[in-house]
């Protein structure tokens, strides 16, 4: 009888122990679930805090931009850049809504003279190295470290599609009844004279740009030449039909594909590279905000996204 009681008591004890173990397992599982839930809550809270901080920083930046002092910078550009720079200006102003970019387009030689005479200018974008060299080395007006070669271009001989010209290029340009030609102080006029000298159409000289329009005419047999003060006026003279042919830049033919024939793209072997440099100009009248905006604009122009813009207007962005 005592053995039966002892056995029954033993079973009771075992069941109690098993029940106790089961309870501990359940408690352990509940504890793990609770910790996991707490971790997820902490992570979600951290993410929300991070997102909130990012939104606050973005809103603060937008507010600072909106409250930034309005700034206006004067950018002097070669006439052949006028079309493409409208797009560059719009893109820059979209990113810097407090900055207004004022473009002054003309021949690089005339722009250089204006800067030397004291015209307020923050950025100079020339159609040739010569004018930038003068501004930097002779005048000392280029801000150190801001000069960059941006694009290359090519001289072309053009005529209206209905002109009926017999001219095929630069070598027989004297066969035209009239020629639109920029003067030697204008880069495209200088490059044209350089090419003519290389071809033997003009006598060898240290500075082909010094040849006057009258001297070029005489070298070509007395052909009528309409001298123009910048490349845009050369193009207009041909498009309007007042001159049979003219020498301009390939980039200037953009938008006139249905009106113009390109008779020849003059080889770089004859003209040399037609490099367009840009630089920030020392402007004693500029505020710190203007100087900062000018420096930012130069960097914006030479950025990779802007290369695609220039290429779309027939410029070559592969420069030395």
With respect to residue 166, please indicate whether it lies within any of the assigned structural domains. yes
| Residue 8: pLDDT over 60 | no
Average pLDDT over residues 291-309: 98
- Asked if residue 160 and residue 143 are part of one domain, the reply reads no
With respect to residue 198, please indicate whether it lies within any of the assigned structural domains. yes
- Asked if residue 305 and residue 206 are part of one domain, the reply reads no
- Asked if residue 182 and residue 134 are part of one domain, the reply reads no
The 3-state secondary structure of the chain reads CHHHHHHHHHHHHHHHHHHHHHHHHHHHHHHHHHHHHHHHHHHHHHHHHHHHHHHHHHHHHHHHHHHCCCEEEEEEEEHHHHHHHHHHHHHHHHHCCCEEEEEEEECHHHHHHHHHCCCCCCEEECCCHHHHHHHHHHCCCECCCCCEEEEEECEEEEEECCCCCCCCCCCCHHHCCEEEEECCCCHHHHHHHHHHHHCCCCCCCCCHHHCCHHHHHHHCCCCEEEEECCHHHHHHHHHCCCCCEEEEEHHHHCCCCCCEEEEEECCHHHHCCEEEEEEEECCCCCCHHHHHHHHHHHHHHCCHHHHHHHHHCCCECCCC
Question: Which pLDDT belongs to residue 36?
Answer: 58
With respect to residue 36, please indicate whether it lies within any of the assigned structural domains. no
- Asked if residue 180 and residue 248 are part of one domain, the reply reads yes
Q: What is the mean pLDDT of the chain?
A: 88
With respect to residue 181, please indicate whether it lies within any of the assigned structural domains. yes
pLDDT in tens, 203-245: 999 999 999 999 999 999 999 999 999 999 999 999 999 999 9
- Asked if residue 137 and residue 111 are part of one domain, the reply reads yes
Enclosing domain of residue 107: 67-152+275-312
CATH code, domain carrying 203: 3.40.190.10
- Asked if residue 246 and residue 111 are part of one domain, the reply reads no
With respect to residue 47, please indicate whether it lies within any of the assigned structural domains. no
Confidence of residue 46 (pLDDT cuts 50, 70, 90): low
Predicted TM-score (pTM) of this structure: 0.75
- Asked if residue 196 and residue 146 are part of one domain, the reply reads no
pLDDT in tens, 124-142: 999 999 999 999 999 999 9
With respect to residue 10, please indicate whether it lies within any of the assigned structural domains. no
- Asked if residue 296 and residue 239 are part of one domain, the reply reads no
Question: Which pLDDT belongs to residue 320?
Answer: 66
- Asked if residue 76 and residue 132 are part of one domain, the reply reads yes
Burial of 98 (0-12, 13-18, 19+ CB in 10 A): middle
- Asked if residue 225 and residue 169 are part of one domain, the reply reads yes
User: What is the total count of domains within the chain?
Assistant: 2
Is the distance from CB of 266 to CB of 157 less than 8 angstroms?
Answer: yes
With respect to residue 19, please indicate whether it lies within any of the assigned structural domains. no
- Asked if residue 79 and residue 225 are part of one domain, the reply reads no
- Asked if residue 202 and residue 260 are part of one domain, the reply reads yes
Task: Please list, in sequence order, all residues whose beta carbon lies within 8 angstroms of the beta carbon of residue 111, skipping any fewer than 6 positions away.
Answer: 76, 77, 78, 104, 121, 124, 126, 131
With respect to residue 9, please indicate whether it lies within any of the assigned structural domains. no
């Amino acid at each position: 009888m005592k053995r039966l009681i002892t056995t029954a008591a033993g079973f009771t004890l075992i069941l109690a122990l098993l029940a106790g173990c089961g309870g501990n397992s359940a408690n352990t599982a509940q504890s793990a679930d609770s910790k996991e839930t707490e971790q997820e809550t902490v992570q979600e809270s951290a993410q929300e805090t991070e997102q909130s901080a990012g939104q606050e920083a973005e809103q603060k930046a937008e507010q600072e931009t909106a409250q930034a002092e309005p700034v206006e910078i004067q950018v002097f550009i070669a006439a052949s850049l006028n079309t493409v720079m409208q797009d560059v200006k719009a893109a820059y102003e979209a990113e810097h809504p407090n900055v207004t970019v004022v473009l002054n387009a003309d021949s690089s030689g005339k722009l250089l003279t204006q800067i030397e005479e004291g015209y307020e200018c923050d950025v100079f974008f020339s159609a040739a190295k010569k004018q930038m060299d003068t501004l930097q080395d002779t005048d000392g007006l280029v801000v150190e470290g801001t000069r960059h070669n941006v694009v290359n271009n090519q001289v072309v001989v053009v005529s209206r599609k209905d002109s009926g010209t017999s001219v095929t290029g630069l070598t027989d340009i004297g066969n035209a009844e009239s020629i639109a030609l920029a003067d030697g102080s204008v880069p495209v006029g200088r490059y044209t004279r350089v090419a003519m000298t290389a071809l033997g159409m003009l006598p060898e000289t240290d500075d082909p740009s010094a040849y006057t329009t009258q001297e070029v005419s005489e070298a070509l047999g007395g052909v009528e030449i309409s001298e123009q003060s910048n490349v845009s006026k050369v193009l207009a003279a041909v498009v309007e039909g007042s001159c049979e042919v003219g020498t301009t830049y390939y980039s200037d033919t953009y938008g006139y594909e249905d009106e113009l024939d390109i008779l020849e793209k003059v080889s770089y072997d004859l003209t040399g590279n037609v490099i367009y440099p840009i630089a920030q100009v020392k402007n004693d009248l500029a505020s710190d905000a203007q100087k900062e905006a000018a420096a930012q604009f130069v960097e914006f122009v030479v950025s990779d996204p802007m290369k695609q813009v220039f290429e779309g207007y027939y410029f070559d962005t592969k420069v030395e």
